[in-house]
Amino acid sequence: MLSLKIYQIITYIIRPFFFIFFCIRILNNKEEKGKFYERKGFSRNKRPTGKLIWIHAASVGETLSAIPLIEGLLSFSSNYNILLTTGTKTSKNLVTERNLKRVIHQYFPWDAKTYCDRFLNNWRPDIAIFLESEIWPNHLIQIKKRGIPIVLVNARMTEKSKVRWLKFKKTISHLLSIFSLIISQDNTSKKRLEELGAKNTLIYGNLKHDSDILPVNSRIFSQFEISCSGRNILVASSTHIGEEVRVLKIFKNLLPSIPNLLLVLAPRHPDRRNDVIDEIKKAGFFTSDFILRSNSLNFDKNIKIFILDSIGELGYFYKKANSVILGGAFKKLGGHNPIEPARFGNAIFTGVNFYNFEEEYNNLVECNGAKVLKDDRDIEIIKDEDLVKKMAINSKNYAESLGGAADKIVLKIVGLLNENQ
């Protein structure tokens, strides 16, 4: 296939530039020093005896989804070992913190044939499991050549990605045919994958629903508890460039009716804190109206906006609030997963561009656990305390009704391992 041959030639030619790319990522704190050899397929670890299940999870979100699957597989048989590859430093740190037994971590090799061969020759996995939308041509081709079954689990295909892949219909159809099984996280993704030529597709639900809820460390925030005592809390999370303008306008409209309202503003990328501060000032707020979490948890009642410029602490604020404005959908970014705040019992509010999580939002809206903000007046609902409480209960009930995908996927994986003996 011409497009695949061109891709293989390009990935071969650009190999000398991978080191430069690696160094740039180190400067941006996205790579771990001394791990360049893993990106080239080398490893200082030896293959363990018994069955080796290779699971690839690109970043933190996919790694969190993989954990219930890993735990289920390891509990099924003491003969199973897991090789977990990830692509980011933060996801590797997550694996280290979990201290998972019989799990070996390695960084995912770049998608060049030489690196793939080296990696596979060392590890010789009995099965390969890729999460969500990880479709790497050279890896797939080399895995197939070795007769290793490969499964795409929690498979996800956005409309935007589908349209892009349709320009290379024969290529994507061929790549999808390499998978022994594709287990989609929802019906929408299943249909899109089938439009691209996928066969052997199933729906078992989203693995994220089987993962632990976000961590809540109340001890760290004892001072915050004192500072916000008696106040209503509205969380605006995972906001992107240009979305804070909308959130701040909504917040200003609510303040006359709810004067004790505290906005916890958590940008998707905390290092945007200075940009967020500029937007807050442009919206007419003063320096005395806001505070950064990185500066202090101690503040008086004059503070109107608390900027959460940290990572890994959002769970606490979801637990404290009962209403969440979720970003990513006020701009054409596809939205963010509403199940995380829903599991804490929050009424969910978001913009109209939630196309990456259509089923979740549509179901939440249908059960009256979420509201799509088509204009700023729609947020008036938050002034009705009883209605917001009902929405929060509805969203939590919906979130709790999900789950069970991990157990089903484990049984399928075990079946494929037994078939391939």
Query: Which are the catalytic amino acids?
Result: 62
Other beta carbons within 10 Å of 2: 8
Q: Vertex 39, ends 34 and 40: CA angle to 5°?
A: 105
Q: Mention every residue, 6+ apart, whose C-beta is less than 8 A from residue 393.
A: 345
Tokens of 270: 């905390």
Residue 105 CA to residue 108 CA, distance in Å, equals 9
Residue corresponding to tokens 């484990």: 410
Full DSSP string of 157-226: --HHHHHHHHTTHHHHHHHHHH-SEEEESSHHHHHHHHHTT--SEEE---GGGGSPPPP--GGGGHHHHH
φ, ψ (nearest 5 deg) of residue 200:
50, 50
Contact 132, 208 (CB under 8 A): no
Residue 369 CA to residue 371 CA, distance in Å, equals 7
Nearest to 307, CA basis, from 320, 322, 317: 317
Report the phi/psi class of residue 371: left, alpha or beta, with left for phi > 0 and alpha for psi in -120 to 50: beta
Residue 189 CA to residue 153 CA, distance in Å, equals 12
Other beta carbons within 10 Å of 177: 13
